[in-house]
Amino acid sequence: MLLESFQVLSHFGNQNFQPLNGVNPYRNSGMKRTTVFIIEKEAPIANLIRYHLLSHQAKHVQVFPSVTECLYFMRKKSIPDFLIADLAHPEINAPIFLKTILQSFQGVKILFLSPFMDDFLATQLMEEGATDYIYKSGRMEDWIHELVKNMEFLIREKSRAD
């Protein structure tokens, strides 16, 4: 199974991931028209996030190893509904990155992932327009589940407002 192959590739493989065993519990997900871009330097983590989003029936999920590649793609090709950025990425200065995205690409929801809990930074980013700040703590599947759950909530709220 695909998830089991991630266990072999990732150094997080010892964290008891539970494969879906061919069952898709997310058949009725509201993500069917959602495009997501992920900026993550660690391919196994990015691919696992991508896998979970596609399991939730996201329309398109694109992974970028660098900010430069993502911004180029956004300027030339397509603008996502959600942009997930890892704050541990060496190219990301969160406040400047957030300001750049919000000024250049209106409507993109920006979710930050962080390996460290910084209440001051989280509050600052949320006040300046970030959609979410998720602390990557504990089991990887737990914070990925939180990420997906929060995205689905935002999609439901937007569809209610429309």
Q: Give the pLDDT confidence of 2-48 residue by residue, as tens digits.
A: 333 333 333 333 333 333 334 344 444 466 678 999 999 888 989 99
Strand order across the beta sheet in which 132-135 lies: 60-64, 35-39, 82-86, 109-114, 132-135
Residue 102 sits at φ, ψ, to 5 deg, of: -65, -35
Burial 116-125 (b: 16+ CB within 10 A, else e): eeeeebbeeb
Which residues are bridge partners to 82 per DSSP? 36, 109
Question: Residue 131 — very low, low, confident or very high, per pLDDT cuts 50/70/90?
Answer: very high
Q: What is the pLDDT of residue 80?
A: 94
Superfamily (CATH H level) for 28-161 = Response regulator (3.40.50.2300)
Q: How far apart are the first and last CA of the chain?
A: 38
Q: Where are the alpha helices (DSSP H) in 1-139?
A: 2-9, 43-55, 67-76, 94-104, 119-127
Domain ranges of the chain: 28-161
Sign, Cα dihedral of 131, 62, 35, 71: positive
pLDDT per residue as tens digits for the range 40-99 = 988 898 999 999 898 887 889 999 999 999 999 999 989 999 999 999 888 889 999 999
Q: What is the pLDDT of residue 8?
A: 31
Look at residues 80, 34, 68, 74 and name the one whose alpha carbon lies nearest to residue 54: 34
Q: What is the pLDDT of residue 23?
A: 39
Q: What is the pLDDT of residue 55?
A: 86
Q: What is the pLDDT of residue 127?
A: 95
Give 64's DSSP letter: E
Site of tokens 């569809």: 159
Q: Give me the mean pLDDT over the 92-118 stretch.
A: 91
Question: Residue 105 — very low, low, confident or very high, per pLDDT cuts 50/70/90?
Answer: very high
